Structure 1
Amino acid sequence: MRDVLTPGQMLAVQARLQPDRIGARDLERAMTFRQWNARACRLANALLGLGLGKGERVAVLAYNCIEWLEIYAAMAKAGLVAVPINFRLVGQEVRYILEDAEVSALILQDELAATIEEIRADLPVSDSRVVWFGATPCPAGFSAYEDLIARAREDEPGIAVDPADPWMLMYTSGTTGKPKGAIRSHRGAAMLSLITEIELGIHRRDSALLVMPMCHANSLYFFGAFSYCGGVTSVYSRKSFDPEHCVRALAEGGASFTSLVPTHYAMMLGLSREAKARHDLTRITRLMISSAPARPDTKRAVMEFFPNSGLYELYGATEVGWATMLHPPEQFTKLGSVGRECVGSAPIRLLDESGREVPDGEAGELFCSNPYLFDGYWKLPEKTREAFRGEYCTVGDMARRDADGFIHLVDRKSNMIISGGENIYPSEVEALLGGHPAVHDVAVVGLPDETWGERVHAVIVPRDGASVTEAEILGWCKDRLAGFKRPRTVSFLEDAAMPRTATGKTLHRKLKERLVRGEG
């Protein structure tokens, strides 16, 4: 029986079916499907020509750019395993991933050379296998990306890639400890692409603007879906997010879809009335909001700002892909939910500490089962066993199911605060505090307390120009939260000082560590 086509094979199909149609681009450059496939083949052959063999890991450190689309496709064609690295990491964090993944090569953008220079003496990759690209000349000893492509063959590499083979080794954001490498296969990528196409109703006439980092699962998974169906994949190639620039890119670039985190949407909504009025956003038909809880007022404002777009919300993770999705007709009736299981998924199970399913309305650890789960954690068999119960997988998130079967996230199990024997979920307290008119952002953590074990502490980022005190925040909670859930102490931060992942998730663990050390 014929298996699914791998992502590398699917790009070759698109190059045959629509060779002269633009398939990949960033804000400066564009490639037809034929050009994209040809450059991916050349790069695949060049990497194999450096002595790399099927299954070896190749790390990639770069800002968002069109090269990511070539690199991911080349890895798929060559049977190599891509190890995307977050460009926000410092040298020692990058070194940990390079060593843990046992990489054989590194593809490096010139603008991030300083990160590698920090660890140059201990770099676990020979100079000739550091592939350099960008505007500045390639350093002596390194291999120049464009030179490799120019010299390599354009035909398909001829490597026998099985759909079960690994394509990605994706390191988790490390919100709860050291990053773990999640192994994802070609088959899993293909199945997730197909399910995404069904859930969103996308087709080859659609175009995606991928704003989130290409080293992150969100952009990678949507890239897979759009390239698999023959749509246009556009990369938002900027080092940092500029809300007005992004609105202009959406309006002028012909995109019909984008996926953003709540922080991105909030920044765009904060633009002046004049700035908003300058751009025609009527061609956007689908929007995704994910990776962090979205406030109801934010979602309502987004739907008003993008008048012709349906708003989707998903819950997922690097390990599990998409677990649930909330569709546009459900946004007003199920605000606060992340939807129900995606097509092709088994019913979600919410389990207590003993492994028993909890009744509707009660919080349990969320386990999901679908055709695109990851294959396990790299070199961590114990952690892999902990993540799975049979065919079901968890990343440690807590959730409730309502009477209609919709899932409501509660919090990460590891973020849960236990105060006086009571379980407190920070996201519930954060949602309440987020409704205060002076609060722009909030994070809630548990701090050591001699009497209660832990006390609830709120860290507030005030809105621009707003003034708010600890007493006001505590008073706001008094009639809105049960006593054991209410913050006992409050501190204030500027937005830039809040520790976050590349996708806007608050790093509660790092924030808590700083507070315990008396640093914030």
Structure 2
Amino acid sequence: MAWNYGDVYEAVADKTPPGTPALIHAGPGGTEGRTIMWDEYMVRTNRLARAFLDAGLEYGDKVAHYMRNCPAYMETLTACFKSRMVHVNVNYRYRDDELHYIFDNSDSKVVVYSSEFREHVAALRDRLPKVNLWIEVPPEEDFDAPVADFAVNYENVVSQGDGSKLGIERSGKDMFFIYTGGTTGMPKGVMWEHEAMWAATGHGASLLNPDADPPATTEEHGDRVAALPLRAKLIPACPMMHGTAMLSAMNCHTQGGCIVTTPEHSLDADALWATIDRYKVNTIAIVGDAFAKPMLRCLDENPGKYDISSMFGMLSSGVMWSPEVKQGLLKHNQNMILMDSFGASEAVGFGRSDTTAAGTTEVAKFTIGEECKVFTEDYQEVEPGSGVPGFIARSGAIPVGYYKDEEKTAKTFPVINGVRYSIPGDWCTVEKDGTLTLLGRGSVCINSGGEKIYPEEVEETLKTHPAVEDVLVVGVPDEKWGQAVTGVVKLHAGVNFNEQELRDWVKERLAPYKAPKRVLPADIALRAANGKADYKGASNFAKSTLGIAS
């Protein structure tokens, strides 16, 4: 059986009653918004898929998704599945040069972008000769708003024309890309086949029946979904341009669920809880404490304001989610399961830690996933209880590799004892009981609010400032962000230190989230005699200067 998400969604839709919501875009502050039903969702995505084919796209061509969370993101993704095109995620925080790299490196033929990003697209268009179709998503409040003269109106495409099924044969080998940060700071396109992701995420298993045998056909899967007593209603609170939210949304639709998006451009805990209350949302995808702490604070400060009794699941991946915050959330709803997932764009299902009102899990401890092992740097398997740190690795359902990067593919997806593994670089130890204790990424990558930030890119940008002689960039513990980007700089002799000027220098050249929250003048040596960066020393200096305990 060839498992393709385009076929899965059609099979689910065929067994879904009319009037069942597939997509909801809430109004500001959790007010009433727009709802797209499953039958309408299928028609709209069929029309968009046909538009791709009518534009001359062929099997495997790339479609860039340059949008915030909105119905159009999921519709465009599904249209790619149906037409056998390849999804490319685009970080909407990127500046023009960063955007150009993604569009160009991915060989995107179509760019679907929100109207708020029109100026960036217009500035890049002449540098992107491979793109032959630009589709502009108009603002939610005015679908008839004028679009750029080089683009077509998204709503015109999805609301007109033939909305019947395409009638094409799809393959489980069809792909989608998830662009993620690379060790040099340049994003890499992780190539996932549909059938691999289907297997990695449990063959469409429902949270209500996670241990069911895999279905034999898409029709059988559709029948199982039709028999579910409750369908998921999910808010992907983190950006769908990242794997956590996107994969959560994909899985929600494999179960015939409804994806609820919000219009706020940054985390607004009040708006999230108001949306959960209004639409009786039952699951939410977040990024650890960066989301959970403000959400808990909102509930604590507004007792009884929101009805969150519909909630039964909170999913987090990508950053620390502390036990005390989990317990605080459970005090407001004891029926929830708090699921802490350990994975990466390069590997799904390394481990998972569930917390309920009846039981807790220590921070950074996970139950190891199937087909996962832990290896030392010389590829020796780590013995449980040995205390020896190693890299977590997964075999089986893993990506094909990185797009157009054979060297990095060979390094991240090595063959060990005849078995191919995915090893993104996360360090951990294996306890006697087989559980994992996560130590962190083996590189010096900074994880700030769920965003990967590689120091080298920020360092090279700071070094272009005429006052800077040398610099190291580190992440220091931060309550809000998990880690705060911090620059430790050595200035040229006779130059005055201006912290805000240096921060602005980065903001003007890179996505703002990559800019240091603090820049500190160094009174220590940043490098060893051999020129190797002393990140540990820079980190200790930054924490000491800022009064942060080591």
Task: Determine whether 1:143 maps to 2:169.
Answer: no
Q: Judging changes above 3 Å, is the alpha-carbon distance between structure 1 residues 73 and 439 closer, same or farther for their aligned structure 2 residues?
A: closer
Alignment of 1:93-492 (within 5 A): 93-126=98-131, 129-135=133-139, 136-166=145-175, 168-174=176-182, 177-194=185-202, 197-198=205-206, 201=209, 204-261=230-287, 262-271=289-298, 273-328=300-355, 333-342=360-369, 345-346=370-371, 348-359=372-383, 360=385, 361-371=387-397, 373-388=398-413, 389=415, 390-415=419-444, 442-443=483-484, 448-450=526-528, 453=534, 454-457=536-539, 470=545, 473=548, 477=549, 486=550
- Percent identity reads 22
1:22 matched to which residue of 2?
A: 21
Distance in 1, matches of 2:262 and 2:346, equals 24
Distance in 2, matches of 1:334 and 1:165, equals 38
Q: Judging changes above 3 Å, is the alpha-carbon distance between structure 1 residues 459 and 441 closer, same or farther for their aligned structure 2 residues?
A: farther
Distance in 2, matches of 1:51 and 1:147, equals 19
Structure with greater contact order relative to length (CA < 8 Å, sep ≥ 6): 2
Q: Judging changes above 3 Å, is the alpha-carbon distance between structure 1 residues 460 and 49 closer, same or farther for their aligned structure 2 residues?
A: same
Q: Judging changes above 3 Å, is the alpha-carbon distance between structure 1 residues 186 and 61 closer, same or farther for their aligned structure 2 residues?
A: same
Superposition TM-score, scaled by structure 1 size = 0.78
Consecutive unaligned residues in structure 2, runs of 5 or more: 27-32, 140-144, 211-227, 447-473, 489-525
How many Å apart are 1:238 and its aligned residue? 2.7
Contact 1:206 1:231 in 2 (8 A): yes
How many Å apart are 1:36 and its aligned residue? 0.6
AA at the equivalent of 2:400:
D
Superposition TM-score, scaled by structure 2 size = 0.74
Consecutive unaligned residues in structure 1, runs of 5 or more: 418-429, 462-468, 478-485, 487-520
Distance in 2, matches of 1:324 and 1:177, equals 26
Q: Judging changes above 3 Å, is the alpha-carbon distance between structure 1 residues 238 and 444 closer, same or farther for their aligned structure 2 residues?
A: closer
Q: Secondary structure at the match of 2:298?
A: coil
Contact 1:43 1:152 in 2 (8 A): no
How many Å apart are 1:304 and its aligned residue? 2.1
AA at the equivalent of 2:11:
V
CA shift digits 1:268-315 (9 cap, x unpaired): 223374434311112111111221012232222222233321111111
Contact 2:173 2:194 in 1 (8 A): yes
2:71 matched to which residue of 1?
A: 66
Distance in 1, matches of 2:358 and 2:542, equals 27
Q: Judging changes above 3 Å, is the alpha-carbon distance between structure 1 residues 196 and 313 closer, same or farther for their aligned structure 2 residues?
A: farther
How many Å apart are 1:26 and its aligned residue? 1.8
Task: Determine whether 1:81 maps to 2:105.
Answer: no
How many Å apart are 1:470 and its aligned residue? 4.2
CA shift digits 1:457-490 (9 cap, x unpaired): 25989xxxxxxx84854xxx5xxxxxxxx5xxxx
Q: Judging changes above 3 Å, is the alpha-carbon distance between structure 1 residues 399 and 249 closer, same or farther for their aligned structure 2 residues?
A: same
Distance in 2, matches of 1:163 and 1:440, equals 38
1:91 matched to which residue of 2?
A: 96
AA at the equivalent of 2:314:
L
Distance in 2, matches of 1:218 and 1:353, equals 28
Contact 2:429 2:439 in 1 (8 A): yes
Q: Judging changes above 3 Å, is the alpha-carbon distance between structure 1 residues 43 and 270 closer, same or farther for their aligned structure 2 residues?
A: same
Contact 2:237 2:261 in 1 (8 A): yes
Q: Judging changes above 3 Å, is the alpha-carbon distance between structure 1 residues 267 and 124 closer, same or farther for their aligned structure 2 residues?
A: farther
Contact 1:283 1:308 in 2 (8 A): no
Indicate the RMSD between aligned Cα atoms, in angstroms. 3.0
Distance in 1, matches of 2:256 and 2:431, equals 37
Distance in 2, matches of 1:141 and 1:169, equals 26
AA at the equivalent of 1:50:
A
AA at the equivalent of 1:105:
V
Task: Determine whether 1:36 maps to 2:41.
Answer: yes
Distance in 1, matches of 2:6 and 2:527, equals 54
Q: Judging changes above 3 Å, is the alpha-carbon distance between structure 1 residues 197 and 239 closer, same or farther for their aligned structure 2 residues?
A: farther
Distance in 1, matches of 2:75 and 2:477, equals 44
Contact 2:63 2:112 in 1 (8 A): yes
How many Å apart are 1:316 and its aligned residue? 0.9
AA at the equivalent of 1:82:
H
Distance in 2, matches of 1:432 and 1:53, equals 46
Q: Judging changes above 3 Å, is the alpha-carbon distance between structure 1 residues 249 and 370 closer, same or farther for their aligned structure 2 residues?
A: farther
How many Å apart are 1:82 and its aligned residue? 1.1
Distance in 2, matches of 1:289 and 1:331, equals 19
How many Å apart are 1:173 and its aligned residue? 3.3
How many Å apart are 1:174 and its aligned residue? 4.2
Distance in 1, matches of 2:341 and 2:17, equals 33
Q: Judging changes above 3 Å, is the alpha-carbon distance between structure 1 residues 332 and 103 closer, same or farther for their aligned structure 2 residues?
A: same
Distance in 2, matches of 1:459 and 1:254, equals 48
Distance in 2, matches of 1:431 and 1:337, equals 18
How many Å apart are 1:199 and its aligned residue? 5.8
